[in-house]
Amino acid sequence: MRIGILGSGLMGGKLGTLFARAGHEVVFSYARSERKLKRLAREAQGNAKAGTPGEAAREADALLLAVHWSRVDDVLKQAGDVSGKVIVSCSLPMNADDTNLVIAHTSSGAESLAKKVRRAHVVSAFGTVPSEVLFGVFAAKRKASRPSLVYCGDDAAAKQLTAGLIRDVGFDPVDVGPLRIARYTEPFTLLIARLAYEGEGGPELAYRFERFD
Ligand SMILES: NC(=O)c1ccc[n+]([C@@H]2O[C@H](COP(=O)([O-])OP(=O)(O)OC[C@H]3O[C@@H](n4cnc5c(N)ncnc54)[C@H](OP(=O)(O)O)[C@@H]3O)[C@@H](O)[C@H]2O)c1
């Protein structure tokens, strides 16, 4: 698949790298320096290049939206027409100093995003784990028990595509339902962030659901 990365920071840089290593064609876009985008493309060791958000979006089968909430409008404007595209978003609706959600309970960042891009198919995924764990999960891909990763969305085909990407990174995709369930997954991320960044064990943290039938 062709995957455009909108926001090549901690999340976008790492996920784009892993998508390329899993065999996808990746375009890294939206950083403050083009040199950084080129370095990411080089170091991804796969089929990856640097581009503008417009180039990343143009022929993409899927776009990963990985920017701070305050940059969403800007990057979408630069991306141009995203009609019919799958937009996988890990972006959380955080305030400027990243201490609180600015949308919650009655809506979610993912639903608010879907309203901005009504003709695209938004899936909320990857936002519930810290970037620091992504390479470790990928490296452990062949192990029998993979960590879970929740995702939600309203379009079945977009969700299926996203589940494939989640598997490619090394997680076990857990479909938690329609996009409005992001009202629960987004605050859940603050719990994960607390354990990752304020707990004892460090940020290389993922989670796994288990059933006991
Ligand atoms: N980090 C995590 O562990 C984590 C986990 C879950 C969810 N999230 C969510 O995922 C999203 C991305 O987080 P992140 O930590 O990956 O953020 P980040 O590292 O700050 O990455 C954001 C990207 O946007 C670029 N950018 C910012 N302002 C720009 C501008 N004016 N022009 C061009 N590019 C600009 C940054 O450029 P530079 O590369 O030049 O800085 C960077 O590449 C956020 O919504 C966050 O809440 C993050």
Question: In what side-by-side order are the strands of the sheet with 62-65?
Answer: 48-50, 25-29, 2-6, 62-65, 86-89, 121-125, 148-153, 172-175
Cβ neighbors of 60 (< 8 A, separation 6 or more) are 2, 3, 4, 27, 85
Tokens standing for residue 61: 């089968």
Which residue type sits at 79?
Answer: A
| pTM, entire model | 0.98
Atom of ligand 1 at shortest range from CA of 90: 10
- Asked if 37 and 62 count as a contact pair (C-beta separation under 8 A), the reply is no
pLDDT in tens, 59-89: 899 999 999 999 999 999 999 999 999 999 9
pLDDT in tens, 17-54: 999 999 999 999 999 999 999 999 999 999 999 999 99
- What is the CA(68)–ligand 1 centre distance, in A? 5
Whole-number pLDDT of residue 194: 96
Specify the residue for token string 């589940």: 163
Whole-number pLDDT of residue 144: 84
**Nearest alpha carbon to residue 155 among 182, 136, 130, 177:** 177
Mean pLDDT on 174-182: 98
How long a stretch of residues is the chain? 213
Identify the residues whose C-beta falls under 6 Å from ligand 1. Answer: 7-12, 30-33, 36, 66-69, 71, 90-92, 94, 127, 130-131, 189
Whole-number pLDDT of residue 52: 98
Which residue type sits at 187?
Answer: P
Whole-number pLDDT of residue 181: 98
Tokens standing for residue 132: 């620091």
Tokens standing for residue 206: 């993922």
Specify the residue for token string 């990928």: 138
Mutate to test the pocket of ligand 1, among 6, 14, 67 (most ligand atoms within 8 A of CB): 67
Beta strands 148-153 and 172-175 are parallel
Does residue 169 register a pLDDT over 90? Answer: yes
